[in-house]
Amino acid sequence: MDRRCLIGAVAAGSVVAEQLFSPGDADAQPKAPARKANLRVGHQHTHAPDSLKLFAALGVNSICSGKLGNTLDQSWTVEGLSRLREQVESFGIKLEMVPLPLSSSNFRNAENPNVMLGKSPERDREIDGICRMIENCAKAGIPAAKYNMTLLGVVSTEPVAGRGGARQRSFVYEKSRPEGLTEAGRVTEEMKWERITYFLERVVPVAEANKVRIACHPHDPGMPKGKGYRGIERVLGSVDGLKRFIRIKESPYHGLNFCQGTVSEMLEKPGVEIYDVIRYFGSRGKIFNVHFRNIKGGFLNFTETFPDNGDVDMLKALRTYKEVGYDGMIMPDHVPVVEGDTDRMKAFSFCFGYIRALIQAVTTE
């Protein structure tokens, strides 16, 4: 490289660094990709045999299974998980991930709710069960698990019509009209971080000891800082919150189920900003799974779309995952509802083909 090119490269790198890193960041320089990117089409929600047969035909290489039991039942034994993996593999598909039962969108039917409610000793028993599940995943040959840490679930307002009349999820904060507190009561940022930290300090060492990557989904959608929603602050609903999250317990087995759609919802201009966010977390090896979803709009006012019909350049996004050496699934999520498509499989099939084509294009560049 001659002197002129070298100076230009340094200047370009400085601009990227300025966009990516704020003065408060603990580590002000991105890490070089640890390995060559390996992008593959993935899916979640189901592992039914009929669906697996369809996935194989459509070129879906890997999946996260559908929901398993809420407690340490038969589906979470080493034998149960091994049977599940073998069933998936019989269709030529790899079972890369399973969902841990950690979701509190409905308190009456919640999955291990006391983890996020912060109630001891109940949460200690629930966390111990989660640790046993992670250990059994390792013994059954399943390398990763995803989870949520939410007290609200996914918050939406009235859906809007997309192309062909497809029903698309939307969220407009001004129209949301939150009514009263949830059963969790008032949950401040400090309370939320204490509960998240309490969980991570106990679970991440188990994940690391068993070499099982655990991937947390961001809060969907983010809410105004200091206002929250129904008395609950959404600390994983901002990029700064996600940066803090990955630093709580440093480990190569602690990272994100990086929902590109949800992260885009945190941004004022997702079509401009999302690529540097991918670089930040991807260059640190903190992206363990990708929900490849697009939106129109931005923070506090957005609509979900098909992947080719939103504000984010999805080809550019996929090139960025390749740039940071991402090795994992690229999967659709929250597809619009097409009339007559009762299980959304037609909509998902469109997304599979779209993602597969983008991966082929990026891989051969």
Q: How far is CA 29 from the centre of its chain?
A: 24
> The CATH number of the domain where 259 resides is what?
3.20.20.150
Distance, in Å, from the CA atom of 183 to the CA atom of 172, rounded to the nearest integer, reads 23
Through-space distance between the first and last CA atoms of the chain, rounded to whole angstroms: 22
- Predicted local distance difference test score (pLDDT) of residue 178: 83
Distance, in Å, from the CA atom of 354 to the CA atom of 331, rounded to the nearest integer, reads 11
Q: Is residue 180 part of a domain?
A: yes
Distance, in Å, from the CA atom of 49 to the CA atom of 35, rounded to the nearest integer, reads 33
Q: Between vectors from CA 213 to CA 210 and to CA 215, what angle results, nearest 5°? A: 145
Q: Would you mind telling me the total number of residues written for the chain in this entry? A: 365
Q: Is residue 311 part of a domain?
A: yes
Q: Is residue 215 part of a domain?
A: yes
Percent of the chain with pLDDT over 90: 85
**Shortest CA distance to 355 belongs to which of 336, 330, 337?**
330
Q: In the predicted model, is pLDDT for residue 16 greater than 50?
A: no
Q: In the predicted model, is pLDDT for residue 3 greater than 50?
A: no
Which one has a higher pLDDT value, 96 or 24? 96
Q: Is residue 232 part of a domain?
A: yes
**Shortest CA distance to 260 belongs to which of 351, 321, 169, 344?**
321
pLDDT tens-place string over residues 137-167 = 999 999 999 999 999 999 999 999 999 999 9
Q: Is residue 6 part of a domain?
A: no
Strand partners of residue 40:
329
Contact 256, 218 (CB under 8 A): yes
Q: Is residue 258 part of a domain?
A: yes
- Predicted local distance difference test score (pLDDT) of residue 33: 53
Structurally, the chain folds into a number of domains equal to 1
Distance, in Å, from the CA atom of 150 to the CA atom of 254, rounded to the nearest integer, reads 17
Mean pLDDT of the chain: 91
What is the value of pTM for the model shown?
Answer: 0.91
Three-class secondary structure assignment of 154-175: CCCEEEEECHHHCEEEEEEHHH
Q: How far is CA 149 from the centre of its chain?
A: 11
Strand partners of residue 160:
168
Strand partners of residue 314:
none
Residues with Cβ within 8 Å of 116's Cβ and at least 6 positions away in sequence, in order, are 102, 104, 149, 150, 151, 184, 195
| Average pLDDT of the segment spanning 38-60 | 96
Please report, to the nearest 10 degrees, the dihedral formed by the alpha carbons of residues 167, 168, 171, 177 taken in order: 10
Which one has a higher pLDDT value, 111 or 254? 254
Query: Domain containing 60: what range?
Result: 37-363
Least confident residue range of 6-20, 181-195, 214-228, 277-291: 6-20
Q: Is residue 288 part of a domain?
A: yes
What single letter denotes the amino acid at residue 87? Q
Quick count: other Cβ atoms within 10 Å of Cβ 143?
17
DSSP 221: S
Q: Band of the pLDDT at 177, cuts 50, 70, 90? A: confident
Q: Is residue 15 part of a domain?
A: no
pLDDT tens-place string over residues 240-294 = 999 999 999 999 999 999 999 999 999 999 999 999 999 999 999 999 999 999 9
Quick count: other Cβ atoms within 10 Å of Cβ 50?
9
SS3 295: strand
Residues with Cβ within 8 Å of 14's Cβ and at least 6 positions away in sequence, in order, are none
Percent of the chain with pLDDT over 70: 89
- Predicted local distance difference test score (pLDDT) of residue 107: 64
The HSE-up count of residue 203 (CA atoms within 13 Å, CB side) is 33
pLDDT tens-place string over residues 326-358 = 999 999 999 999 999 988 999 999 999 999 999
